Structure 1
């Protein structure tokens, strides 16, 4: 079994990706029996993807607004710029949902000492892990993506996109793996959807979609997309994962990833963007 990383490294990993049982959620971990080239895509695959400084993502949902996971931005002292379609865009202000809960240090210390993440996971699941960034200027060269407003996610196929850590379902990936790699996309089936969250499991090849994928470190706040007959909708934002295993290696088959469910937050988002009381 891989030795756990140093505590200082773990602290950053957990707060960056809202770890459940120590593993961050975000990027694309692929099937071990499918070539990586099948998962890689050009930036034009989803031009509304927003790159946060260093690591982490968001999505352009209005000409002047980006939605992301709160933990993907609160670990940094300031977000002055983000990158959209390869161009830096200045940020005017950041709005964190008032229900966001940053895990307390003592709870993290207990989990690190015992490797029992039960209460840590309970706290994560009760947190509103969502934030909005207002850009200084509207984006004119990229079309925003609409959010899904219907409570119809269960059983649907979603497309997840990200540039974070990668590996495969057999080996997982190492904590020290790069958190910003090549852009990849994968597909999965929503296995649960209620309240704040919609979740999916990274299945073994015998039960998996052709290009099924799981989550990794470094792209929290990235999109989970639904393709309807008329348009592509933003259903969720990558938030946290539970590996469903005592093995301390992230990204293996069986891992469950939970995404911020945007249909649950549609009123909050619209109230902020349109300045409703």
Structure 2
């Protein structure tokens, strides 16, 4: 099966952070310049990460494991060489047999079970420390429930009324939106894409093409990295389902659950010039 078909299939319950917007608001209200988050990292082709230390980027494991090798990423308009990847040992890649079953039957139930039990997180160590961009601090609190989150991404877009198709572009313009976290436990926190009058003024959700991008929570005047968009909860035939519709939920890797793993891996590696 081609990579496109695999990504389209995983879109039913595993992709992330582009920004899908309300149908009753103009797209210009969601567009933002690159200065909104210089620490946003573009993976080759598609997918995101976030700079969290001068030499370290965090991302979703599934955003990097479909590629045989990642030699460089782009941040703040500059290519940065990658020294190596660290994939969480608990990450579970969907087996080909399961993918084939879903393509035959359209039933992605067992894929969602697998994704929910996987540690979908990875680190990239850069060859040289970044000096022109400030890293984003990690959100370490466990009180994400009911908080307002900001999501940022460049991937597929659409509106909650009609969603978007799997073949739509997975890299578009930078957008940001907001949503309220409705559940938080263990590996994950999730939120629901609501429509007016229940929606936030700039309500939105994640979509295809920017897996591993930032979901941020504000503490005082600082936006901290709380999550990484990972999978979307949506029901229906996986082969024909449209994503980005009102009522669907986006589930994010919960950074607070992985702080110890992140910090232990970064501290165990020598820094450039050290």
The TM tier, using the shorter chain, reads over 0.9
| 1:171 aligned partner | 162
| 2:272 aligned partner | none
Correspondence 1:124 to 2:115: yes
**Aligned-partner Cα distance in 2 for 1:267–1:151:** 14
Give 2:262's match in structure 1, choosing from 262, 269, 275. 269
Residues 113-172 of structure 1, C-alpha deviations (whole Å, 9 max, x = no match): 111111110000000000000000000000000111110100000000000000000111
| 2:241 aligned partner | 248
Larger deviation: 32-41 or 6-15? 6-15
Asked if structure 2 preserves the Cα contact closer than 8 Å seen for 1:244 and 1:256, the reply is no
Indicate the SS of the match to 1:269.
helix
TM superposition shift of 1:205? 1.7
Residues 72-114 of structure 1, C-alpha deviations (whole Å, 9 max, x = no match): 0000011000001000000001000000000011111112211
TM superposition shift of 1:199? 0.4
| 2:85 aligned partner | 94
**Aligned-partner Cα distance in 2 for 1:98–1:181:** 32
| 1:259 aligned partner | 252
| 1:10 aligned partner | 5
Structure 2, unmatched stretches of 5+, are 270-274
| 2:173 aligned partner | 182
TM superposition shift of 1:232? 1.4
Larger deviation: 58-67 or 243-252? 243-252
Indicate the SS of the match to 1:74.
coil
Structure 1, unmatched stretches of 5+, are 1-5
Indicate the SS of the match to 1:260.
strand
| 1:236 aligned partner | 227
**Aligned-partner Cα distance in 1 for 2:3–2:251:** 25
Name the TM-score, length of structure 2 as normaliser.
0.94
Asked if structure 2 preserves the Cα contact closer than 8 Å seen for 1:243 and 1:251, the reply is no
Indicate the SS of the match to 1:167.
coil
Asked if structure 1 preserves the Cα contact closer than 8 Å seen for 2:21 and 2:203, the reply is yes
Show the 5 A alignment for 1:19-98: 19-20=12-13, 24-98=15-89
TM superposition shift of 1:26? 2.0
**Aligned-partner Cα distance in 2 for 1:270–1:8:** 32
Indicate the SS of the match to 2:64.
helix
**Aligned-partner Cα distance in 2 for 1:54–1:134:** 19
Q: How many residues align?
A: 267
Residues 156-189 of structure 1, C-alpha deviations (whole Å, 9 max, x = no match): 0000000000000011111111100000000000
